[in-house]
Structure 1
Amino acid sequence: MRLALVAAIAGGIVAAALVAMYVSRLPSSDYSLKVDALKDEQSLFVNARVVLENNGRLPLKDVAVDFGNGTREVIGTMDPGDRRDVSPPETAQLETVTVTAEPGITITQEYRKPIKLPGMIGS
Protein backbone atom coordinates (compact mmCIF):
# COMPACT_ATOMS: atom_id res chain seq x y z
CA MET A 1 0.00 0.00 0.00
CA ARG A 2 2.74 2.44 0.98
CA LEU A 3 4.79 1.53 -2.15
CA ALA A 4 1.78 2.20 -4.38
CA LEU A 5 1.28 5.61 -2.76
CA VAL A 6 4.95 6.56 -3.26
CA ALA A 7 4.83 5.35 -6.89
CA ALA A 8 1.66 7.38 -7.53
CA ILE A 9 3.20 10.54 -6.05
CA ALA A 10 6.42 10.06 -8.04
CA GLY A 11 4.43 9.48 -11.22
CA GLY A 12 2.44 12.67 -10.58
CA ILE A 13 5.62 14.67 -10.06
CA VAL A 14 7.14 13.32 -13.29
CA ALA A 15 3.92 14.05 -15.22
CA ALA A 16 3.79 17.61 -13.83
CA ALA A 17 7.45 18.18 -14.78
CA LEU A 18 6.85 16.94 -18.35
CA VAL A 19 3.80 19.18 -18.75
CA ALA A 20 5.75 22.17 -17.43
CA MET A 21 8.63 21.53 -19.86
CA TYR A 22 6.20 21.21 -22.79
CA VAL A 23 4.31 24.39 -21.90
CA SER A 24 7.54 26.37 -21.50
CA ARG A 25 8.54 25.48 -25.10
CA LEU A 26 5.33 26.87 -26.61
CA PRO A 27 5.72 30.25 -28.35
CA SER A 28 4.59 33.08 -26.11
CA SER A 29 4.31 35.82 -28.76
CA ASP A 30 3.03 36.10 -32.31
CA TYR A 31 6.29 37.41 -33.81
CA SER A 32 9.67 36.43 -32.41
CA LEU A 33 13.05 35.83 -34.04
CA LYS A 34 16.11 34.28 -32.39
CA VAL A 35 19.51 35.26 -33.83
CA ASP A 36 22.81 33.56 -32.95
CA ALA A 37 25.92 34.97 -34.65
CA LEU A 38 29.10 32.94 -34.11
CA LYS A 39 32.67 33.76 -35.13
CA ASP A 40 35.27 31.04 -34.47
CA GLU A 41 38.77 32.33 -35.24
CA GLN A 42 41.20 29.53 -36.11
CA SER A 43 44.92 29.94 -36.75
CA LEU A 44 44.51 29.79 -40.57
CA PHE A 45 40.90 30.87 -41.16
CA VAL A 46 37.75 32.22 -39.56
CA ASN A 47 34.60 30.12 -39.40
CA ALA A 48 31.45 32.23 -39.06
CA ARG A 49 27.72 31.59 -39.24
CA VAL A 50 24.43 33.21 -38.33
CA VAL A 51 21.56 31.00 -37.15
CA LEU A 52 18.02 32.36 -37.46
CA GLU A 53 15.02 30.73 -35.81
CA ASN A 54 11.40 31.86 -35.94
CA ASN A 55 10.21 31.03 -32.43
CA GLY A 56 6.92 32.92 -32.72
CA ARG A 57 3.43 31.68 -33.54
CA LEU A 58 3.11 33.41 -36.95
CA PRO A 59 5.28 33.52 -40.11
CA LEU A 60 7.88 36.25 -40.54
CA LYS A 61 8.09 37.91 -43.95
CA ASP A 62 10.90 39.72 -45.75
CA VAL A 63 13.60 38.29 -43.47
CA ALA A 64 17.00 39.73 -44.46
CA VAL A 65 20.49 39.54 -42.98
CA ASP A 66 22.83 42.55 -43.30
CA PHE A 67 26.47 41.59 -42.71
CA GLY A 68 27.80 45.16 -43.11
CA ASN A 69 29.99 46.57 -45.89
CA GLY A 70 26.95 46.50 -48.18
CA THR A 71 26.63 42.70 -48.07
CA ARG A 72 23.10 41.49 -47.51
CA GLU A 73 21.26 38.19 -47.93
CA VAL A 74 17.49 37.98 -48.33
CA ILE A 75 15.92 34.91 -46.70
CA GLY A 76 12.26 35.64 -47.50
CA THR A 77 9.52 34.06 -45.39
CA MET A 78 10.16 31.93 -42.32
CA ASP A 79 7.31 29.83 -40.94
CA PRO A 80 6.99 29.18 -37.19
CA GLY A 81 9.72 26.77 -36.08
CA ASP A 82 11.86 27.33 -39.19
CA ARG A 83 15.61 27.48 -38.61
CA ARG A 84 18.13 28.76 -41.16
CA ASP A 85 21.93 28.76 -41.08
CA VAL A 86 23.51 31.56 -43.09
CA SER A 87 27.22 31.91 -43.85
CA PRO A 88 28.54 35.44 -44.22
CA PRO A 89 30.47 36.21 -47.41
CA GLU A 90 34.24 36.63 -47.24
CA THR A 91 33.88 40.42 -47.58
CA ALA A 92 31.77 40.69 -44.40
CA GLN A 93 33.29 42.67 -41.51
CA LEU A 94 32.29 40.05 -38.86
CA GLU A 95 31.75 42.57 -36.06
CA THR A 96 27.96 42.86 -35.97
CA VAL A 97 25.06 41.47 -37.96
CA THR A 98 21.64 43.09 -38.40
CA VAL A 99 18.56 40.98 -39.12
CA THR A 100 15.29 42.56 -40.20
CA ALA A 101 11.85 41.03 -40.70
CA GLU A 102 8.26 42.15 -41.06
CA PRO A 103 6.37 43.15 -39.03
CA GLY A 104 8.90 45.63 -37.67
CA ILE A 105 11.60 43.35 -36.26
CA THR A 106 15.19 44.64 -36.25
CA ILE A 107 17.90 42.79 -34.31
CA THR A 108 21.54 43.91 -34.27
CA GLN A 109 23.92 41.51 -32.61
CA GLU A 110 27.66 41.19 -32.16
CA TYR A 111 29.31 37.94 -33.18
CA ARG A 112 30.04 35.80 -30.15
CA LYS A 113 33.26 33.80 -29.84
CA PRO A 114 33.34 30.27 -28.42
CA ILE A 115 35.46 29.52 -25.39
CA LYS A 116 38.89 28.12 -26.29
CA LEU A 117 40.18 25.33 -24.07
CA PRO A 118 43.82 24.24 -23.96
CA GLY A 119 44.43 21.12 -25.99
CA MET A 120 41.30 21.52 -28.14
CA ILE A 121 41.51 21.86 -31.92
CA GLY A 122 41.70 25.54 -32.88
CA SER A 123 42.86 26.72 -29.44
Structure 2
Amino acid sequence: MDGYKIFFVVPITVIVTVLVFIGVPSITLLVFSPDYDVNVDARIDKQNSPIIGQVLIQNTGSQPLTNIIVDFGEGDILDIGTLDNLHKVILTPPADNKMEFVTVSTDQTVIVKKTYREVKITE
Protein backbone atom coordinates (compact mmCIF):
# COMPACT_ATOMS: atom_id res chain seq x y z
CA MET A 1 0.00 0.00 0.00
CA ASP A 2 2.91 2.39 0.71
CA GLY A 3 4.13 2.05 -2.88
CA TYR A 4 0.77 3.26 -4.20
CA LYS A 5 0.94 6.35 -1.98
CA ILE A 6 4.19 7.38 -3.67
CA PHE A 7 2.61 7.09 -7.11
CA PHE A 8 -0.41 9.20 -6.10
CA VAL A 9 0.74 11.59 -3.38
CA VAL A 10 4.00 12.79 -4.97
CA PRO A 11 2.52 13.72 -8.39
CA ILE A 12 -0.45 15.47 -6.77
CA THR A 13 1.89 17.40 -4.47
CA VAL A 14 4.03 18.47 -7.45
CA ILE A 15 0.96 19.58 -9.43
CA VAL A 16 -0.44 21.61 -6.53
CA THR A 17 2.95 23.25 -5.93
CA VAL A 18 3.31 24.21 -9.59
CA LEU A 19 -0.22 25.64 -9.68
CA VAL A 20 0.41 27.72 -6.57
CA PHE A 21 3.69 29.19 -7.82
CA ILE A 22 2.67 29.73 -11.45
CA GLY A 23 -1.10 29.95 -11.49
CA VAL A 24 -1.77 32.31 -8.58
CA PRO A 25 0.56 35.14 -9.77
CA SER A 26 -0.89 34.89 -13.30
CA ILE A 27 -4.45 35.12 -12.03
CA THR A 28 -3.66 38.13 -9.84
CA LEU A 29 -2.10 39.92 -12.82
CA LEU A 30 -5.25 39.38 -14.87
CA VAL A 31 -7.68 40.20 -12.09
CA PHE A 32 -5.93 43.18 -10.50
CA SER A 33 -4.41 44.95 -13.52
CA PRO A 34 -6.06 48.32 -14.21
CA ASP A 35 -8.01 48.81 -17.42
CA TYR A 36 -5.90 51.79 -18.54
CA ASP A 37 -2.29 52.31 -17.56
CA VAL A 38 0.93 53.25 -19.32
CA ASN A 39 4.61 52.92 -18.45
CA VAL A 40 6.92 55.64 -19.78
CA ASP A 41 10.71 55.41 -19.64
CA ALA A 42 12.61 58.42 -21.00
CA ARG A 43 16.35 57.86 -21.41
CA ILE A 44 19.16 60.06 -22.66
CA ASP A 45 22.79 59.22 -23.47
CA LYS A 46 24.91 62.37 -23.30
CA GLN A 47 28.18 60.47 -23.80
CA ASN A 48 27.54 60.01 -27.51
CA SER A 49 27.84 62.73 -30.10
CA PRO A 50 25.19 63.57 -31.13
CA ILE A 51 23.21 63.06 -27.92
CA ILE A 52 20.83 60.10 -28.19
CA GLY A 53 17.39 59.97 -26.57
CA GLN A 54 14.81 57.19 -26.39
CA VAL A 55 11.29 57.08 -25.02
CA LEU A 56 9.71 53.70 -24.30
CA ILE A 57 5.93 53.70 -24.03
CA GLN A 58 4.22 50.49 -22.91
CA ASN A 59 0.53 49.85 -22.36
CA THR A 60 0.48 48.04 -19.01
CA GLY A 61 -3.31 48.06 -18.70
CA SER A 62 -5.76 45.38 -19.75
CA GLN A 63 -7.46 47.50 -22.46
CA PRO A 64 -6.13 49.30 -25.57
CA LEU A 65 -5.09 52.95 -25.22
CA THR A 66 -6.36 55.27 -27.95
CA ASN A 67 -5.24 58.63 -29.32
CA ILE A 68 -1.85 58.50 -27.60
CA ILE A 69 -0.13 61.88 -27.80
CA VAL A 70 3.58 62.19 -27.00
CA ASP A 71 4.77 65.71 -26.13
CA PHE A 72 8.58 65.90 -26.19
CA GLY A 73 8.49 69.57 -25.15
CA GLU A 74 9.47 72.63 -27.19
CA GLY A 75 6.41 72.14 -29.42
CA ASP A 76 7.49 68.67 -30.62
CA ILE A 77 4.32 66.56 -30.51
CA LEU A 78 3.74 63.11 -31.99
CA ASP A 79 0.41 61.26 -32.32
CA ILE A 80 1.05 57.52 -32.21
CA GLY A 81 -2.59 56.45 -32.31
CA THR A 82 -3.62 53.22 -30.55
CA LEU A 83 -1.49 50.87 -28.47
CA ASP A 84 -2.94 47.46 -27.60
CA ASN A 85 -2.53 46.10 -24.09
CA LEU A 86 0.96 44.80 -23.28
CA HIS A 87 2.40 46.30 -26.48
CA LYS A 88 5.19 48.85 -26.48
CA VAL A 89 6.85 51.32 -28.80
CA ILE A 90 10.28 52.96 -28.63
CA LEU A 91 10.52 56.50 -30.00
CA THR A 92 13.40 58.83 -30.68
CA PRO A 93 12.86 62.52 -29.89
CA PRO A 94 13.65 65.07 -32.62
CA ALA A 95 17.39 65.75 -32.91
CA ASP A 96 17.11 69.45 -32.00
CA ASN A 97 14.98 68.78 -28.87
CA LYS A 98 16.56 69.56 -25.47
CA MET A 99 15.18 66.26 -24.10
CA GLU A 100 14.31 67.52 -20.64
CA PHE A 101 10.93 65.84 -20.18
CA VAL A 102 8.25 63.93 -22.08
CA THR A 103 4.49 63.83 -21.46
CA VAL A 104 2.26 61.00 -22.69
CA SER A 105 -1.53 61.40 -22.68
CA THR A 106 -4.43 59.27 -23.93
CA ASP A 107 -8.17 59.50 -24.55
CA GLN A 108 -8.68 57.48 -21.36
CA THR A 109 -7.33 60.42 -19.27
CA VAL A 110 -4.04 58.67 -18.59
CA ILE A 111 -1.32 61.33 -18.33
CA VAL A 112 2.30 60.54 -17.48
CA LYS A 113 5.09 63.12 -17.38
CA LYS A 114 8.68 61.88 -17.08
CA THR A 115 12.06 63.54 -16.85
CA TYR A 116 14.80 61.97 -18.94
CA ARG A 117 17.23 59.86 -16.95
CA GLU A 118 20.82 59.57 -18.08
CA VAL A 119 21.97 56.10 -19.13
CA LYS A 120 24.33 54.48 -21.60
CA ILE A 121 22.26 53.52 -24.64
CA THR A 122 23.82 50.83 -26.80
CA GLU A 123 22.87 50.57 -30.43
Question: TM-score if structure 1 supplies the norm length?
Answer: 0.78
Task: Look at both structures and tell me which one has the larger radius of gyration over its CA atoms.
Answer: 2
Unaligned runs of 5+ in 1: none
Q: TM-score, normalised by structure 2?
A: 0.78
Q: 1:25 to 1:112 in 2, by over 3 A?
A: farther
User: Closer, same or farther in 2 for the Cα pair 1:43/1:91, shift >3 Å?
Assistant: closer
Greater share of helix residues, 1 or 2? 2
Matches within 5 A, 1:1-123: 1=3, 4=7, 5-6=9-10, 8-26=12-30, 28-114=33-119
| Identity value in percent | 29
Q: Deviations over 1:90-114 (max 9, x none)?
A: 1211111011111212110111223
Mapped to 1, the partners of 2:118 and 2:53 lie a distance apart of 10
Deviations 1:11-42 (A, max 9, x none): 42222111123224436111111111111222
One-letter amino acid of the counterpart of residue 89, structure 1? P
1:49-99 deviation line (CA, Å, top 9, x unaligned): 111111222222210111111111110122222211111011211111011
Aligned pair count? Answer: 116
Amino acid at match of 1:98: T
Q: CA RMSD in A?
A: 2.2
> Structure 2: where are the runs of 5+ without partners?
none
